[in-house]
């Protein structure tokens, strides 16, 4: 206690000094004494009241009024200053309201919502939330009735004054224990001007339900929180939304085994933070133990949530959570429906060892379904975010834009409306390009969750934003209002994990110091290296000229005069580029692919000795064969948007991918991407093994086979066999390779495919806008392979269910 008294004395001294300084400043400015008193009253008195009530005033510990007496003991002296002080302390309330409003608006756009919308704000206090909601919804006209339920008479008094001032007739203040509140006791046929008795026993229809229930920093102050949470399902309509914002502390280990929490991004609070904040808030009877949030997530389905820190006040952890009824009427249908999460491509023989098993298991254990099942779209499939195969990427995507030319892909594949495509997600650009051909289905597959988060963001943007916002986000890579767009418009279209990632990384698009989307991800290292080298060499003007050339001749002259000697400098390659760490981290070139480049070079020079010098020369030659033809054959100004983006950091209105055109935007609006795209966060082999035989017509696997080394031949063969099984006879596999003739082509031919080279890059040749791959191949399936015997198949562990199973 002596320590606490000294701490309080220090705080009082600081506040007194601030008060004196403010008064002195106002006097120096020549303000009259009345203005000085008014300023002190508005800015200092509320905080004095808050400080006194929170730290100095002795509170009632035992009262004949129970919890109400305890609340009054705390709030009676600071009710008038509550809103002023909590504006800085209670963060996330506006976010919670905007997310709830966005969900309500979306559901109304796709469902027949019940007439007479009702909102119940539990622990609504002074009514701040209700008034703040008008930023997002026309509150007086949108809701037929709003019930503000709070147990503190002092706060309810402030709320009555607020809505009398606003003139809102649809708000009722109920000063009552939230455990006893029942909508049927208030929603009667009597006049709106008559306040029904909280204890009335008149029978009413049980069909009266709320479209929205909110709890803003109330759950942590309710002693008997279990019964309050248990009372909410009876209040909430089947399609209603429950929104909560509150403080919390939790160790992520406690929830790492759960699949229904909607993601644990930034949820972990370290030991010191857990101990400190729990002890600190106990002074004011605010309980931060994890059980409150845990029970909330157990009793309801999680739609979205995210975790933040209030750093202005020392990093207080708080969360915002949006949920719905735990088991909606269509719960089992959502798990078993042929066109929702277990889609028509699923092989019935593997049903119980796929993502559907997670949902069915949860239902059998009375747990909420995984968050993916409560999303508004069936685009993103459930995955185990805690699995090492996903966590190895450390919440960072490698590519902010896709390094494959979709123009060549579509020319070779001739995609039609009858096609079902499997393709690697990467940054999602090519997925969106294929979608313009309106195929029956596209399965986007990537092991890195954040690559799929990027594709999800793009799809959500096209579903909810106008073209100019789309252009700023993905054309320029920057948007000052990204966070607002994310909360108010895109959030209903995102999975919880993707939303968590982008709310935490909003600065990607908004930071004034950052360079935008296209200088993020692991590939940013290569982009920034070139940028800084040109800057140090004083060649920024030359870069601008290169990107603005009107002729190939002019472009070629600038390239050879200045820029080439920097990018293709032997010193740079010896110091940086030839090293495996840079090739992998910055360019996404795995060691096996680098070895293929070296092997081709050794064959060219007639050597078998892979010395460091030979390896460095191989990479140097490969870079020359990539970059020189690009400059010689394509204009960066209006033809080659890949390299224009690398040099400019953004696209231009005359040089951009097809998916960023106004025509594409209109096409996506007319033909929803959610009807076409399914996003799998799994290894390719897991997705292929789950598919019904002969359900695919096209597989675009980019350069993924290059990631296998010859020593991985059995695994590579298993994947090729799975491709054969999933593809229809005549189905095509499009792949690219850093090798002129990759070693695994022989496996394709042995396992039922006919491989034909589509493009071959020799020194000086130009194959496509990227021109980075030595060859491109089209492998056409001839006939089905005979089913393998179980003894010939390696065991694998299903990445989503944890079940050991045989490849099929």
- Higher-pLDDT residue of 139, 334: 139
Are 782 and 750 within 8 A, CB to CB? no
What is the Cα–Cα distance from 688 to 363, expressed in whole angstroms? 26
Structural domains in the chain (count):
4
Q: For 333-492, list the strands marked E by DSSP.
A: 420-424, 441-445
**Which region among 2-11, 574-583, 680-689 has the lowest average model confidence (pLDDT)?**
2-11
Mark 278-288 as b/e (b = at least 16 C-beta within 10 Å): beebeeebbbb
Most confident of 42-56, 63-77, 93-107: 93-107
If asked whether residues 310 and 369 sit together in one domain, one would say no
In a domain, 775, yes or no: no
Strand partners, 444: 423, 679
Q: Based on the domain organization, do 245 and 362 belong to the same domain? A: no
- Rounded to 5°, angle at Cα 803 from 798 and 808: 55
Residue written as token pair 């292929």 = 688
Query: What pLDDT digit, counting tens, does each position of 233-290 carry?
Result: 999 999 999 999 999 999 988 888 888 999 999 999 999 999 999 998 887 778 999 9
Query: Is a pLDDT exceeding 90 seen at residue 323?
Result: yes
Identify the bridge partners of residue 777 per DSSP, sorted by sequence position.
735, 757
How confident is the model over 74-94, as a mean pLDDT?
67
Give the separation between CA 739 and CA 748, rounded to whole angstroms: 16
Confidence of residue 70 (pLDDT cuts 50, 70, 90): low
Residues 6+ apart with CB under 8 A from 781: 723, 724, 727, 728, 729, 730, 731, 732, 733, 752, 753
Distance separating alpha carbons of residues 207 and 124, to the nearest angstrom: 24
pLDDT of residue 465: 97
pLDDT surpassing 70 at residue 39? no
> Which whole number is the average pLDDT over 703-732?
94
Q: Tell whether 756 is covered by a domain.
A: no
Give residue 18's pLDDT.
55
Residue 272 lies in a domain: yes
- Between 26 and 44, name the one with better pLDDT: 44
Least confident of 377-381, 652-656, 698-702: 377-381
pLDDT in tens, 115-133: 679 999 999 989 999 999 9
Query: Is 338 found in the same domain as 238?
Result: no
Q: Tell me the mean pLDDT in the region 637-658.
A: 94
Structural domain span for residue 3? 1-43
Q: Which pTM does this prediction carry?
A: 0.86
Alpha carbons 147 and 141: distance in angstroms, whole number: 15
Query: Is 768 contained in some domain?
Result: no
**What backbone torsions phi and psi does residue 331 show, to the nearest 5 degrees?**
-60, -55
pLDDT of residue 471: 98
Kindly report which listed range (307-321, 616-630, 727-741, 792-806) carries the lowest average pLDDT score: 792-806
What's the pLDDT tens digit per position in 489-542? Answer: 999 999 999 999 999 999 999 988 878 999 999 888 778 888 888 888 888 899
Judgement on whether residues 181 and 34 belong to the same structural domain of the protein: no
User: Among the three residues 374, 399, 434, which one is the final residue of a domain in this structure?
Assistant: 374
* 417 φ/ψ sector (left φ>0, alpha ψ -120 to 50, else beta): alpha
Task: Select the more confidently predicted residue: 563 or 205.
Answer: 563
Confidence band for 650, pLDDT divided at 50, 70 and 90: very high
pLDDT band at 719 (very low <50, low <70, confident <90, very high): very high
Q: Are residues 229 and 314 in the same domain?
A: yes
In terms of average pLDDT, the best of 79-93, 572-586, 621-635 is: 621-635
Residue 137 is assigned to a structural domain of this protein: yes
Domain assignment present for residue 514? The answer is no
Q: Give yes or no: residues 269 and 308 share one domain.
A: yes
Q: Which two tokens stand for residue 506?
A: 């909003």
Of the two residues 31 and 85, the one the predictor is more confident about is 85
pLDDT in the model for residue 17: 52
How much of the chain exceeds pLDDT 70, in percent? 78
Neighbouring C-beta atoms of residue 24, cutoff 10 Å: 11
Find which of 18-27, 33-42, 605-614, 749-758 is predicted with most confidence, using mean pLDDT.
Answer: 749-758
Q: Is the pLDDT of residue 422 over 50?
A: yes
Look up the CATH number of the domain holding residue 171.
3.40.50.150
136 and 3 share one domain: no
Cα torsion through 109, 110, 113, 119, rounded to 10: -60
| Burial label, 792 (beta-carbon count in 10 A; 0-12, 13-18, 19+) | exposed
726 and 796 Cβ atoms separated by less than 8 Å: no
Instruction: Read off the pLDDT band of 1 (50, 70, 90).
Output: very low
Instruction: Give the separation between CA 601 and CA 621, rounded to whole angstroms.
Output: 8
Quick check: is 531 in a domain? yes
Average pLDDT over all residues of the chain: 83
3-state helix, strand, coil in the chain (%, to 5): 50, 15, 35
Angle, helix 612-633 to helix 591-605, in steps of 10 degrees: 90
Residue 459 lies in a domain: no
Q: How many residues does the chain have?
A: 808
Question: Which is higher by pLDDT, 60 or 153?
Answer: 153
Residue 652 has pLDDT above 50, yes or no: yes
Confidence at residue 51, expressed as pLDDT on a 0 to 100 scale: 53
Pick the last residue of a domain from 374, 406, 439: 374
Same domain, 250 and 107: yes
Question: Do 200 and 313 fall within a single domain?
Answer: yes
Residue 74 pLDDT? 56
Is there a single domain that holds both residue 26 and residue 152?
Answer: no
The answer on 339 and 297 residing in a single domain is: no
**pLDDT band (50, 70, 90) for residue 348:** low
- pLDDT tens string 584-643: 555 667 888 888 988 998 998 888 887 877 777 888 888 889 999 999 999 999 999 999
Judged against a pLDDT cut of 90, whether residue 663 lies above it is answered with yes
CB atoms within 10 A of CB 661: 15
Write down the pLDDT at residue 69: 58
Confidence of residue 72 (pLDDT cuts 50, 70, 90): low
End residue of a domain, out of 340, 374, 408: 374
Average pLDDT score over residue span 573-590:
63
pLDDT exceeds cutoff 90 at 308: yes
One domain for residues 127 and 230 = yes
């Amino acid at each position: 206690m002596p320590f606490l008294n000294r701490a309080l004395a220090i705080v009082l001294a600081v506040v007194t000094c601030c008060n004196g300084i403010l008064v002195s400043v106002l006097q120096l400015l020549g303000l009259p004494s009345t203005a000085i008193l008014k300023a002190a009253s508005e800015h200092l008195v509320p905080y004095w009241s808050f400080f006194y009530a929170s730290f100095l005033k002795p509170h009632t510990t035992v009262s004949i009024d129970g919890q109400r007496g305890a609340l009054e003991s705390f709030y009676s002296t600071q009710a008038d200053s509550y809103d002023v002080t909590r504006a800085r302390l209670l963060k996330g309330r506006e976010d919670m309201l905007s997310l709830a409003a966005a969900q309500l608006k979306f559901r109304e756009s796709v469902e027949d919502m019940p007439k007479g919308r009702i909102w119940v704000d539990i622990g609504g206090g002074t009514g701040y939330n209700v008034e703040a909601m008008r930023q997002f919804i026309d509150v007086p006209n949108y809701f037929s009735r709003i019930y503000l339920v709070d147990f503190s008479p002092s706060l309810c008094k402030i709320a009555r004054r607020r809505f009398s001032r606003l003139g809102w007739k649809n708000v009722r203040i109920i000063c009552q224990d939230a455990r006893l509140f029942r909508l049927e006791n208030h929603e009667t046929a009597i006049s709106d001007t008559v306040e029904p008795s909280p204890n009335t026993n008149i029978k009413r229809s049980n069909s009266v339900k709320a479209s929205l229930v909110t709890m803003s920093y109330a759950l942590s102050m309710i002693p008997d929180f279990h019964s309050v949470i248990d009372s909410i399902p009876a209040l909430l309509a089947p399609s209603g939304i429950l929104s909560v914002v509150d403080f919390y502390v939790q160790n992520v280990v406690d929830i790492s085994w759960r699949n229904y929490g909607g993601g644990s991004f930034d949820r972990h609070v370290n030991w010191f933070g857990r101990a400190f904040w729990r002890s600190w808030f106990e002074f004011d009877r605010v309980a931060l133990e994890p059980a409150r949030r845990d029970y909330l997530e157990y009793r309801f389905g999680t739609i979205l949530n995210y975790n933040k820190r209030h750093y202005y006040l020392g990093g207080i952890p708080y969360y915002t959570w949006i949920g719905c009824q735990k088991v909606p009427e269509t719960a089992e249908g959502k798990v078993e429906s042929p066109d929702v999460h277990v889609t028509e491509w699923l092989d019935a023989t593997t049903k119980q060892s796929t993502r559907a098993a997670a949902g069915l298991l949860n239902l059998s254990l009375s747990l909420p379904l995984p968050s993916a099942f409560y999303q508004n779209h069936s685009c993103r499939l459930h995955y185990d975010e805690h699995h090492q195969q996903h966590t190895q990427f450390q919440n960072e995507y490698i590519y902010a834009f896709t390094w494959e030319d979709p123009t060549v892909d579509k020319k070779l594949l001739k995609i039609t409306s009858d096609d079902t495509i499997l393709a690697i997600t990467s940054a999602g650009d090519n997925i969106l390009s294929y979608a313009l051909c309106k195929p029956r289905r596209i399965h986007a597959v990537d092991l890195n969750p954040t690559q799929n988060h990027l594709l999800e963001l793009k799809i959500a943007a096209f579903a909810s934003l106008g073209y100019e916002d789309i252009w700023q986000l993905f054309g320029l890579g920057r948007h000052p209002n990204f966070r607002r767009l994310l909360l108010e418009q895109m959030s209903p279209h995102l999975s919880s994990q993707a939303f968590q990632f982008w709310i935490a990384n909003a600065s990607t698009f908004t930071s004034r110091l950052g360079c935008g989307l296209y200088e993020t991800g692991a590939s940013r290292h290569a982009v920034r290296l070139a940028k800084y080298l040109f800057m140090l060499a004083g060649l920024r003007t030359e870069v601008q000229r290169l990107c603005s050339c009107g002729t190939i001749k002019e472009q070629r002259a600038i390239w050879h005069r200045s820029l080439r000697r920097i990018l293709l400098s032997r010193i740079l390659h010896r110091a940086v580029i030839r090293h495996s760490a840079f090739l992998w981290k910055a360019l996404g070139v795995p060691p096996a692919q680098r070895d293929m480049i070296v092997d081709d070079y050794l064959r060219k020079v007639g050597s078998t000795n892979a010395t460091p010098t030979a390896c460095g020369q191989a990479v140097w030659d490969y870079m020359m064969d990539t970059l020189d033809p690009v400059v010689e054959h394509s204009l960066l100004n209006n033809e080659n948007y890949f390299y224009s983006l690398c040099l400019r950091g953004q696209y231009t209105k005359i040089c951009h991918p097809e998916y960023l055109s106004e025509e594409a935007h209109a096409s996506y609006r007319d033909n929803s991407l959610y009807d076409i795209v399914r996003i799998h966060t799994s290894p390719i082999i897991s997705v292929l093994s789950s598919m019904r035989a002969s359900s695919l017509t096209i597989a675009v696997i980019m350069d993924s086979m290059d990631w296998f080394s010859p020593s991985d031949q059995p695994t590579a063969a298993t994947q090729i066999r799975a491709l054969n099984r999933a593809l229809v006879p005549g189905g095509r596999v499009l792949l690219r390779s850093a090798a002129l003739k990759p070693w695994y082509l022989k496996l394709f031919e042995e396992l039922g495919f006919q491989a034909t080279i589509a493009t071959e890059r020799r020194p000086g040749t130009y194959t496509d806008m990227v021109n980075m791959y030595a060859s491109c191949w089209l492998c056409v399936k001839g006939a089905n392979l005979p089913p393998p015997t179980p003894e010939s198949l390696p065991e694998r562990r299903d990445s989503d269910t944890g079940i050991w199973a045989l490849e099929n």
